[in-house]
């Protein structure tokens, strides 16, 4: 369960509060505020706050006093133009803040995106909850033979059961040692009041990378879309991709016109090199071209043919 009854009550209390504001708001995103969107076995994302909307992007692009134009179609057209021609500054005028609960090894990937403001729970001051990520059987795969950072065939039978047991047993053992060193039980209460436990900043060393951590992550819309273009991609690691997929739902609710342009030009579109374009032009003209003639490597050629829906 990603949230305790106390946390659920806190979220309900936060959602019960209302405040008058003169700034533009987005009803679709307001309805999502504070609510936990479950991810993996114990994780979640929550929208904590945001600033701006589609109209704010248009306003910034035109440096106008108003909230865009009188016609939604004109605002949509401008947003698509900005996305198409990579004019990114207007998108930076919108910001959003998430509360994310995620395994430590996913957090170490995520933090590579250095364009956000991050504040993570500190195990120097807090005792982490006894929660760790155990993959679903369908996500337990062998190392890919042709991709050094990817997965291959799914493990099955006794081998899968053995790996799952090791992951679970190691996490249980390490967390038990963590609590023993701290001199606390599962509720965080002292086991032996007569003795001090090991310093938290030292005891945390024994935790496994599948232990859950939490942070507040604030970024602007431009950098959020860059994050999503990489992490919602089919080639991204599953455990971070599922977070990105939930964040795509937030993006759609928050800035629908921007979401549409983003999905068209960044997610569903394709970038072509000068050599790629030369090949496409020859094919359109009815000519033929081979990989050797194209000047492309075998990998580049294969990717281009896959983009065009042709056999390599």
SS3 4: coil
Which token pair is 100?
């994310």
What is the separation, in whole angstroms, between the first and last Cα of the chain? 47
N residues, the chain? 312
Q: Which of 151, 168, 231, 266 is catalytic?
A: 231
**Rounded (5°) CA angle 147-150-153:** 95
Q: Is 15 a catalytic residue?
A: no
How far apart, in whole angstroms, are the C-alpha atoms of residue 171 and residue 239?
Answer: 18
Reduced to 3 states (helix: H, G, I; strand: E, B; else coil), residue 147 is coil
DSSP 137: G
Measured distance CA(55)–CA(160) in Å, rounded: 51
Contact 175, 181 (CB under 8 A): no
**In the numeric block, which tokens belong to residue 41?**
């076995």
CA distances from 78 to 21, 71, 92, 169 (A): 27, 11, 15, 55
For 33, list phi and psi in degrees, rounded to 5. Answer: -55, 135
Look at phi and psi of residue 183 and say left if phi exceeds 0, alpha if psi is from -120 to 50, else beta.
left
Q: Which residue has the tokens 């019960």?
A: 16
Percent helix, strand and coil across the chain, each rounded to 5?
50, 15, 35
Catalytic residue ranges: 231
């Amino acid at each position: 369960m990603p949230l305790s009854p106390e946390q659920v009550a806190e979220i309900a209390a936060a959602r019960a509060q209302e405040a008058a504001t003169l700034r533009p708001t987005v009803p679709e995103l307001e309805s999502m505020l504070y609510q936990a969107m479950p991810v993996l076995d114990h994780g979640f994302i929550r929208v904590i706050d945001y600033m701006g909307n589609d109209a704010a992007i248009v306003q910034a692009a035109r440096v106008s006093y108003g909230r865009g134009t009188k016609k939604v179609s004109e605002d949509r057209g401008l947003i698509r133009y900005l996305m198409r021609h990579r004019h990114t500054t207007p998108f930076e005028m919108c910001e959003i803040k998430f509360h994310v609960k995620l395994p430590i090894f996913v957090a170490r990937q995520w933090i590579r995106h250095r364009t956000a403001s991050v504040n993570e729970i500190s195990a120097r001051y807090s005792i982490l909850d006894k929660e760790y990520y155990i993959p679903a059987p369908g996500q337990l795969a062998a190392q890919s033979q042709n991709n050094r950072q990817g997965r291959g065939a799914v493990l099955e039978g006794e081998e899968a059961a053995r790996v799952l047991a090791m992951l679970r047993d190691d996490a249980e053992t390490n967390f038990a040692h963590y609590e023993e060193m701290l001199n606390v039980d599962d509720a965080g209460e002292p086991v032996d009041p007569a003795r001090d436990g090991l310093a938290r900043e030292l005891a945390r060393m024994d935790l496994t990378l599948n232990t859950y951590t939490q942070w507040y992550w604030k970024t602007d819309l431009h950098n959020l879309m860059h994050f999503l273009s990489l992490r919602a991609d089919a080639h991204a690691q599953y455990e971070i991709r599922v977070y990105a997929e939930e964040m795509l739902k937030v993006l759609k609710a928050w800035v629908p016109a921007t979401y549409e342009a983003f999905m068209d030009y960044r997610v569903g579109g394709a970038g072509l090199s000068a050599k790629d374009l030369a090949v496409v032009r020859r094919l359109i003209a009815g000519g033929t071209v081979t990989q050797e003639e194209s000047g492309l490597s075998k990998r580049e050629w294969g990717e281009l043919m896959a983009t065009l829906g042709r056999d390599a």
